């Protein structure tokens, strides 16, 4: 299985979530003409988390490419003011607005912001830039279905490395918003009530610990080695419960893999529980966890591909062993993905999964 699909990580979408709590941020005093939210704005605020900007001042700096136009103004917003961004892409492809904010450490944190988009269908990009110009970004549609205010919570796990500096997001110095070309054209964006909050600890895991209940193919992303195939099919598990069959075919030494984004804090050595059955050739099943810095840890089950019966397997996090990527430490405070992979002597079969959950 080697490092083959480590490189796939960047192709697999991340996901999103919500909630809030206080933490440290301060105005970027080094950030010249821009920056400096009013001191009064920096106390923990009633809306949750730490208020970064209530947009009571017009102190954001705009930029654009040669063809686009952008104009900033102040209007009423969520519980106060909003920044109104009127733009016309014309033949261009982006406009942006930025302000300096120092966030010492964005690990396990999130940005909370209200936005309201109108006009053409383009993309909203939010970027965090650190002291060595590392850019971490996230992209969302600018328009919502209702056209009304939308609350975005953008957690650490939603951001990914885009360009610049080293690959690590250090001390943040600037927050950028950009509107990038989708359909092009003109429109407006309102932004209001920008806060720094705690990232949701549960990520994509249900309150009862369930990661996957067998009911749907939704949320799985697949990858495969050379001349291999993988298809997901709904089927039936123990006692008539729903289950998902990962139907595969691999040559000897190749692999297939299915991934779910967890984006969860799994501190405290909980266990991963999986209800699983293998039908077909005696290939190996591997359960893997990928952490904040792409360290991949796994637990292998040789021959599980031919088990022929349902098994309940419980694996404490501490039983996962280092395979590749990142450093050699599993940082359980952010587990980005769970992978289920098949490798081994080759052939076809089905790995049927009834449930995956966290047991504490």
Can you tell me which residue has the tokens 């979530």?
17
> 166-185 mask for Ca ion (x: CB under 5 A)?
x-x-x---------------
Please give the structure tokens belonging to residue 97: 């607005």
Distance of CA 124 to the CA centre of its chain: 16
Distance of CA 104 to the CA centre of its chain: 20
Residues numbered 59 to 118 that lie near Ca ion (CB under 5 A) are none
CA dihedral 196, 199, 200, 201 (to 10 degrees): -140
Residues numbered 294 to 313 that lie near Ca ion (CB under 5 A) are 295
Q: How far is the CB of 169 from Ca ion (least distance, A)?
A: 6
Contacts of 186 (CB under 8 A, 6+ apart): 86, 87, 88, 89, 119, 120
Q: How far is the CB of 328 from Ca ion (least distance, A)?
A: 7
CB 222 within 8 A of CB 332: no
Binders of Ca ion: how many residues, by CB under 5 A?
A: 14
Which residue, 129 or 198, is less far from Ca ion as judged by CB? Answer: 129
Which residue, 173 or 350, is less far from Ca ion as judged by CB? Answer: 173
Alpha helices in 183-323 (DSSP H): none
Q: Which residues pair with 160 in a beta bridge?
A: 137
> 235-274 mask for Ca ion (x: CB under 5 A)?
----------------------------------------
CA dihedral 193, 198, 202, 203 (to 10 degrees): 60
Which residue, 167 or 302, is less far from Ca ion as judged by CB? Answer: 167
Can you tell me which residue has the tokens 């590749």?
324
Integer Cα distance of 291 and 320 in angstroms: 12
Q: How far is the CB of 268 from Ca ion (least distance, A)?
A: 17
- Binding segment for Ca ion (CB under 5 A), chosen from 55-63, 76-84, 274-282, 318-326, is 318-326
User: How far from 111 is each of 192, 235, 250, 252, CA to CA, in Å?
Assistant: 12, 40, 43, 46
Integer Cα distance of 85 and 61 in angstroms: 11
CB 35 within 8 A of CB 29: yes
Among 293, 310, 333, 348, binds Ca ion (CB under 5 A): 293
> 182-211 mask for Ca ion (x: CB under 5 A)?
------------------------------
- Binding segment for Ca ion (CB under 5 A), chosen from 68-76, 82-90, 237-245, 319-327, is 319-327
- Give the DSSP H/E element, type plus range, for residue 352: strand 347-359
Which residue, 168 or 311, is less far from Ca ion as judged by CB? Answer: 168
Among 326, 346, 347, 348, binds Ca ion (CB under 5 A): 326
Q: How far is the CB of 326 from Ca ion (least distance, A)?
A: 4
> 115-134 mask for Ca ion (x: CB under 5 A)?
---------------x-x-x
> 17-56 mask for Ca ion (x: CB under 5 A)?
----------------------------------------
Contact residues for Ca ion (CB under 5 A)?
A: 130, 132, 134, 165-166, 168, 170, 291, 293, 295, 326-327, 329, 331
């Amino acid at each position: 299985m080697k490092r083959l699909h480590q490189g796939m990580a960047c192709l697999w979408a991340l996901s999103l979530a919500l909630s809030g709590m206080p933490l440290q941020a301060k105005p970027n005093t080094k950030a010249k003409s821009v920056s400096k939210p009013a001191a009064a704005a920096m106390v923990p605020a009633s809306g949750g988390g730490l208020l970064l900007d209530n947009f009571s001042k017009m102190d954001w700096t705009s930029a654009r490419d040669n063809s686009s136009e952008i104009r900033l103004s102040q209007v009423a917003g969520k519980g106060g003011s909003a920044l109104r961004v009127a733009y016309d892409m014309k033949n261009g492809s982006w406009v942006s607005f930025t302000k300096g904010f120092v966030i010492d450490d964005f690990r396990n944190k999130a940005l909370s912001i209200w936005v309201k988009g109108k006009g053409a269908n383009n993309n909203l990009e939010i970027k965090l830039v650190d002291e060595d110009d590392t850019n971490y970004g996230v992209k969302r549609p600018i328009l919502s279905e209702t056209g009304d205010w939308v609350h975005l919570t953008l957690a650490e796990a939603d951001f990914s490395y885009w360009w610049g500096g080293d690959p690590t997001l250090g001390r943040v110095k600037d927050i950028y918003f950009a509107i990038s070309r989708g359909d092009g054209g003109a429109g407006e964006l309102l932004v209001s009530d920008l806060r720094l909050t705690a990232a949701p600890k549960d990520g994509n895991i249900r309150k009862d610990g369930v990661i996957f209940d067998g009911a749907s193919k939704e949320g799985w992303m697949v990858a495969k080695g050379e001349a291999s195939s993988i298809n997901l099919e709904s089927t039936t598990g123990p006692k008539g419960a729903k289950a998902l069959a990962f139907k595969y075919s691999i040559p000897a030494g190749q692999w297939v893999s299915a991934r779910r984004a967890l984006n969860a804090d799994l501190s405290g050595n909980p266990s991963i529980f999986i209800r699983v059955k293998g039908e077909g050739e005696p290939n190996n099943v591997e359960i893997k966890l990928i952490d904040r810095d792409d360290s991949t840890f796994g637990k292998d089950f040789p021959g599980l591909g031919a088990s022929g019966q349902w098994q309940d397997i419980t694996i404490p996090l501490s039983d996962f062993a280092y395979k590749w990527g990142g450093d050699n430490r599993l940082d359980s405070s952010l587990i980005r993905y769970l992978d289920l992979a098949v490798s081994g002597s080759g052939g076809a079969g089905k790995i049927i999964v009834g449930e995956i959950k966290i047991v504490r």
